[in-house]
Amino acid sequence: MTKASTATGHLIGYARVSTDAQEAQLQLDALDAAGCSRIFIDKASGKSMERPELKAALDYLRGGDSLCVWKLDRFARSLIDLVGVVDQLAQRGIGFKVLTGALANIDPNTPDGRLMLQVIGAMAEFERALIRERTKAGLEAAKAQGRTGGRPAVITDDMLTVAKARKAKGESVSAIAKALGVSRATLYRYLDESG
C-alpha cells in the first residue's frame, strides 16, 4: 500500500464486504489509489453490530487524519449510525472522505455537507425499508401459493427410509452416510428428527 497523508495527517481506509464469499479487492484498489496509508477490512453484514476492524480503524485515527471509505453503504448501517460516527470524528478533529457515490464530492464537516449527508442517508434508509417491505410481501405471496423458501432437503424421504432400514440391519451410520453421499452429521440429524 502506498504511503500518503492528508494536509495534516494520514488517510486511513476502511472497507467492508457482507460475506466471506464477497471480495473486497475493488474497494482495496480504490482506497490504495486514493493514497490510504493503512486499510482496515471487515467481513460482516451491514446490519451486524460486530465490526471489529471499524472499531480498530476508529481507535487508530488521530487528529488531522481522515477516514476514507469507497462508498457510503460500505461504512454505515443507518442514518443515525452514519451521522453519529461522522460527528464523533469531527469532534476528534478527524475528516471523512467518500470516494464514490453520492458523497464523493461533499465535505461532511461543513454545514452544507452535513445537510447532504443527512438527506442521502435518509434516502438510503427509505430504500432499505422499501426493499424489506417488498421482500416480506413476496414471501407472503409465495407462502399463500404453497411455496416456501429455504434450502431443499439434503435427504429425501426415500433416502431416509433406506437409511433407517440399513441401520436396523446393523450397518454403521458412517457406511450409510457414505453410500447416500451425505455427511454423518447430516444423517444423524435426520435420523434424530424422524425419531
Dihedral angle, C-alpha 174, 178, 180, 183, nearest 10 °: 70
User: Is 174 assigned a catalytic role?
Assistant: no
Q: How far apart are CA 128 and CA 134, in angstroms?
A: 10
The 3-state DSSP class for residue 153 equals coil
- Comparing C-alpha atoms, which of 30, 46, 44, 24 is closest to residue 97? 30
Of 5, 18, 37, 45, the active-site residue reads 18
Q: Which cell numbers in the block locate residue 168?
A: 436396523
Q: Pull the grid cell for residue 117.
A: 449527508
8-state DSSP, 10: B
C-alpha–C-alpha distance, residues 22 and 73, integer Å: 15
**Active-site positions?**
18
